[in-house]
Amino acid sequence: MIPIICQEPILRFAPSPNGRLHLGHALSAMTNADMAKAMHGRLLLRMEDIDVLRCTPDFERSILEDLHWLAIDWQQPVRRQSEHFAFYRAALDELIARELVYPAFLTRGEVKAKVAAVEDRGEIWRRDPDGAPLYPTEERHLDPSTRQQRIAAADRYAWRLNMDKALAEIRSAQAGALCWSETGDGEKGQIVADPAAWGDVVLWRSDAPSSYHLSVTLDDAAQGITHVVRGLDLYHATSVHRLLQALLGLPAPTYHHHRLLLGPDGRKLSKSNGDTALSTLREGGAISADIRRLVGL
């Protein structure tokens, strides 16, 4: 008889403790909890606090209070990304050894000036799905001794993925396109990933070790996440996550990108927008059922 292996669904809510949670986070946490319950799975909580300057224990405490008040249940322990830098570094070191990343020295101002010079000539400089200009690719090919000299002289530099090299490696290792399985509120089904749209993404910075892309991909695998449930604002980032999974031999979860809540100005809610902060609503006497209604669940 062929054994049927049923993987237990494992979901995660992964806020960044760099501000107070708002209604958009409540929608995300509640959608995660509802889906985990419907699938008889587990919900985990991960604090995405790689930005050690902006993330604080006070914000973490306020997130935990909000989640308790919303009656969200998660399985202990909470994973804190700031406790796993060595784990992320080991993956970066592997990519360095495989020459898939390179040290990148251009400052934001230098990139801006290059882009402006090209655009002033009426030429197009490609932008990523978030609208930021792609990083210039000229440092991909610095010779090793120049690279060493620049590292020694640099105040700070980042490690960036050589997107062309990474894609060439994937193309030679797997037949067919890199895809993900999507069940969310946007396009559904098998989605073809387009990591090239992001150019040479940052995987490690000297001021905030590790990047969102690297740590989220490694943590989803380390925590055995089977279903990633998060807002549609991260839909396109999934292309980068799929590429990193393929490069590092990690499993691909199913993705569910849910609708976003918009403010009166038609823009996605932000942590600086005080009126929708969950703590403000809580102090005003709202209960979990009110929040559920407010976020349209």
Q: Which residues bind ligand GLU (CB under 6 A)?
A: 14-16, 48, 216, 230, 234
Q: How far is CA 270 from CA 12, 49, 286, in A?
A: 21, 17, 20
Minimum CB distance to ligand GLU smaller for 162 or for 238:
238
Tokens 């979860």 label which residue?
253
Minimum CB distance to ligand GLU smaller for 104 or for 193:
193
Find the shortest distance in angstroms from Cβ 155 to ligand GLU.
Answer: 27
Strand partners, 159: 103, 204
Minimum CB distance to ligand GLU smaller for 21 or for 100:
21
Tokens of 294: 């407010």
Minimum CB distance to ligand GLU smaller for 208 or for 234:
234
Cα R_g (the chain), whole angstroms: 21
Minimum CB distance to ligand GLU smaller for 51 or for 139:
51
Please report, in angstroms and rounded to a whole number, the separation of the first and last CA atoms in the chain.
43
Find the shortest distance in angstroms from Cβ 15 to ligand GLU.
Answer: 5
User: Minimal CA–CA distance to 236: which of 143, 157, 128?
Assistant: 128
Tokens of 105: 């020295």
CA distance 208 to 85: 10
Minimum CB distance to ligand GLU smaller for 20 or for 230:
230
Residue 40 CB coordination number (10 Å): 8
Q: Which residues contact 242 (CB under 8 A, 6 or more apart)?
A: 178, 179, 180, 193, 195, 252
Minimum CB distance to ligand GLU smaller for 91 or for 216:
216
Strand partners, 262: 268
Find the shortest distance in angstroms from Cβ 199 to ligand GLU.
Answer: 20
User: Minimal CA–CA distance to 235: which of 262, 260, 266, 200?
Assistant: 260
Find the shortest distance in angstroms from Cβ 13 to ligand GLU.
Answer: 8
Q: Which residues contact 91 (CB under 8 A, 6 or more apart)?
A: 214, 218, 248
Find the shortest distance in angstroms from Cβ 46 to ligand GLU.
Answer: 8
